[in-house]
Structure 1
Amino acid sequence: MSRFSPFSRSRAPQLLTEVLSRTDAFAPLRAGVEQMSAIRRDLDALLPDYLAASIEPGFIKDGKLALFAAHNALAARLRHLEPRLVADLQARGWALDGVRIRVRPQAVKDPVPPKQARMTPVGAAALQALSEHLEPSPLQAALAKMAARHTKR
């Protein structure tokens, strides 16, 4: 006899759309999720990468699309792009009158730890020898600089 209840068996992860399509009670939620993912795809296509990655779309309410920016500078940039963005979204079939831009700060990310890689003296000498045999080029300069940085220790 199993110590686990037959009702608590583990299941494989399921797509959100599959879970929401099981019953009609989730129909409004499913429509909202589909709308947000469609808006996300259109925003990714219309906005530059740095901007699209730092905003989150909200719902359309009273003809206004809510956009949440990661910080004030991105919100200001979005406000400059608002007329063109609204026109482009309208051309893609969205019934919008405007955009409502809000700032929603993202959690501060941990600083990147300093590199811990170290090169052996033999490796640094090999890089130095290679850089001396190459023609002057950006690669030759980079190898010489790397070799010099690791021979100082």
Structure 2
Amino acid sequence: MSSEGFELPLRLLLAFRMMIDELHAELARQGHPDGRPMYGFVMQAIIRGGDTAVELGRMLGVSKQAAGKTIETLERVGYVERTTDPRDTRRKIVRLTPYGMDALTRSARIFDTLRARWAEELGEERLQALESDLRRMTPANLWRLDIPGWFGTL
């Protein structure tokens, strides 16, 4: 059965959307009702070195102002805090709070559960083959976090 070319990216996007929606529904049940899909990209960027609005914006592919607004939102929700850099008091750094780290830890466990569900439905061998094929067809850098800027949503 042959598919039209546009179907593959749409199916990949639908699979991503479905997993992210399931993740956030479960995160809400586990005490993170304010989580949003874009927050995961932002929090991953923070723990990977984007600890100022400038660095975060660069990593996410958005402006410093957009990154600053997102930091304010995450701070209001309780996922991050801003502190003064002890090496340069003019510089504000962003860190995840224990609540933010909890969200990431729970997310990782939920993703493991979702993957297990896919393995149960498709079979472990088929799922591993799918993952292997996707690794072959995509860049090696798994942590490309500039999707918010690419989508133009921040």
How high is the TM-score relative to the length of structure 2? 0.30
Q: Which has the larger Rg? A: 1
Structure number with greater CO (CA < 8 Å, separation at least 6) is: 2
More helix by share: 2
How high is the TM-score relative to the length of structure 1? 0.30
